[in-house]
Amino acid sequence: MNGSQTIIVLKKTNKVKVKYGYMRRIFSALTNIVAKNWIIIVTIAAASFLRLYRLTEFARFLGDEGRDAIVVKRIIIFEHFPAVGAPTSVGQVYLGPFYYYFIAPWLALFKLDPVGLAYGVAVFSIVFLAVIYLLTRHFFNERVAIIATFLTSFSYVLIELSRFSWNPNLLPLFSMLTVFFFLKALKNKSKVFYFLFGVFFSFSVQLHYLAMSLALPVLIIGLEDFLSNVKSRGEKIINYSISVASFVFFMIPLLIFDLRHNFLNSRNFVRLFQSGEAIGDGKIFTLVSTFSDLNQYLFSISFNNVLALVLFVIILVLFFFNLQKKEYYFRAFIIFFIGSLIVISLYPGVKHPHYLGMLYPFYIIVIARILSDFLKRGIFDKVLVFMFLIAFLFLNSKNYLFLKEEPNNQIGLAKNIAQKIYENVKTDKFTVTSLPEKYSDSTYRYFLEIWGKRPNETDSMEKADELFVVCEKKCSPIIGNPLWDIAYFAPTEIVGEWRVRGVKIYKLTRHEN
């Protein structure tokens, strides 16, 4: 080997050594990160498994999900860009369109398979776990962050909300980010944080109008901040104006819709409040019963109002005790929790789990902060905290039905029903409806639309030549049924019957006079 060849070999050897040393440093750094954070890594990994396991087979795909899939699909192909979102179940007040645009990339990523929307929600719910950990550690400490993340990870209600696509399901994430930007804005006096607070508050409200309950604690804490320093009030007015402006800006599509439709949404809102369906009598009992519902959903255990009242009083005592300790962030989260709870309790109807979406992270953080104090004490107190967490996991795990039950495969069923309809459509003018749940036909409509056979729009006044009726359960007589879709079509003959996994499909026609 001559001198030049030796030099080349030495250079290559040095490059290999440098590359190997670089990889070793990276591996060492990753090992250190895992060693220091193994508890949170294992927790989030287990939580991710619970949110993604057999998601395609268990994902809910009913009327609301089918409707959303149709809207999102039309966004993706640039057919229609909605200015409003889904209507509320009470009062038919339209939400903003944020959710549709936010989740749309997931439907495109999965090539129009509606399970993509469910995966999108599941992934953002996993992101929420990282958010709750990082923000809680930022506001408090590592102990509080780990406990809060553990409770969030294994709460059955939060797992259930993460396993299908629906606008309220992302509310825990966005309400938490709203509060983060609000508190950071007050502390840092940064106009960027004031802007982001308004943006995320707007997004939260567009996910569900009960997110407006955040307005009360924001008003309380914001007013305290405004009155705390006379000299800076002018600047604070400007900062708050930035938040209001950013909130309104991202609500513009909804405002334009209202202007173009003679204030339809506003009138429905007013009518809803006048009817008493939006605000109840405000008795203390409703506050306690709402708190009882919250505990029942979070802990997966029956909660009576007496126990709920005792817990609520304990939290109030801790709040007033904290006024002396002046722990700002703990007090702020208690205010957000109690303030939002008071507003939500005014709603007179049944408090479904998703109605309390913005409360879960606040309540979990309050619990985690309380439990963290026990970890500072003796071994007995630490054992109590450990037993509490084990009991929490045990109670919630009993509801992880997707681990042990057979899947319902609602997406597959809807696809099979749509396939049977597709095979038997003989005209361009046809329509689809279902009994007894009128609007669940949107799931079949979705597949028919992406396959190129779009039925007449729901409630369309255009007469179809064929009507397909999907009987999801036992149906009353098909011909002569008072359902508007059937009555308007006025069928005279059943020309086809099929059965798909226990669901019966009828094809109807009529003889023109």
The Cα diameter of the chain in Å comes to 103
CB atoms within 10 A of CB 175: 29
Question: Sign of the C-alpha dihedral, residues 367, 372, 375, 376?
Answer: negative
Confidence of residue 70 (pLDDT cuts 50, 70, 90): very high
What angle (nearest 5°) sits at the alpha carbon of residue 425, between those of residues 422 and 428?
110
Average pLDDT of the chain to the nearest whole number? 88
Per-residue pLDDT, 5: 62
Share of the chain above pLDDT 70, in %: 90
SS3 465: coil
Quick check: 22 pLDDT over 90? no
- Mean pLDDT for 113-139 is 97
By mean pLDDT, which of 314-323, 347-356, 444-453 is the weakest?
314-323
- 36-43: average pLDDT: 90
The SS3 of residue 480 is: coil
Neighbours of 241 (CB within 10 A): 12
State the pLDDT at residue 21: 65
Reading phi first (left if > 0) and then psi (alpha if -120 to 50, else beta), residue 79 is in alpha
The pLDDT tens digits for 324-358 are 667 889 999 999 999 999 999 988 778 899 999 99
| pLDDT over 80 (residue 476) | no
SS3 485: helix
pLDDT over 80 at 322, yes or no: no
Q: Tens digit of pLDDT for each residue in 75-108?
A: 999 999 999 998 887 767 889 999 999 999 999 9
3-state SS, residue 282: coil
Of residues 390 and 91, more confidently modeled = 390
pLDDT the model gives residue 164: 95
Find which of 8-12, 142-146, 312-316, 438-442 is predicted with most confidence, using mean pLDDT: 142-146
Q: Using one digit for the tens of pLDDT, what is the confidence trace for 182-222?
A: 999 999 989 999 999 999 999 999 999 999 999 999 999 99
Per-residue pLDDT, 262: 80
* Predicted local distance difference test score (pLDDT) of residue 413: 94
β-strand pairing of 430-435 with 466-471: parallel
| Strongest mean pLDDT among 150-159, 286-295, 380-389, 454-463 | 150-159
pLDDT band per the 50, 70, 90 thresholds, residue 387: very high
> What pLDDT sits at residue 416?
95
* pLDDT value at 154 more than 90: yes
pLDDT-based confidence at residue 53 (cuts at 50, 70, 90): very high
Dig out the tokens for 7 from the structure. 């030099």
Among 63-67, 467-471, 483-487, the minimum mean pLDDT is found in 483-487
Name the percent of the chain lying above pLDDT 90. Answer: 61
Summarised one tens digit per residue, pLDDT across range 219-253 is: 999 999 888 877 788 899 999 999 999 999 999 99
Indicate the range of 19-23, 77-81, 83-87, 288-292 predicted with least confidence: 19-23
Whether residue 133 has pLDDT greater than 90: yes
- Are 157 and 111 a contacting pair, CB within 8 Å? no
pLDDT at residue 301, as a whole number: 86
Decide if pLDDT at 323 tops 80. no
pLDDT at residue 14, rounded to an integer: 60
Rounded to whole angstroms, the Cα distance separating 321 from 357 reads 27
pLDDT at 1: 55
Residue 151: name the closest of 361, 401, 380, 382 by CA.
361
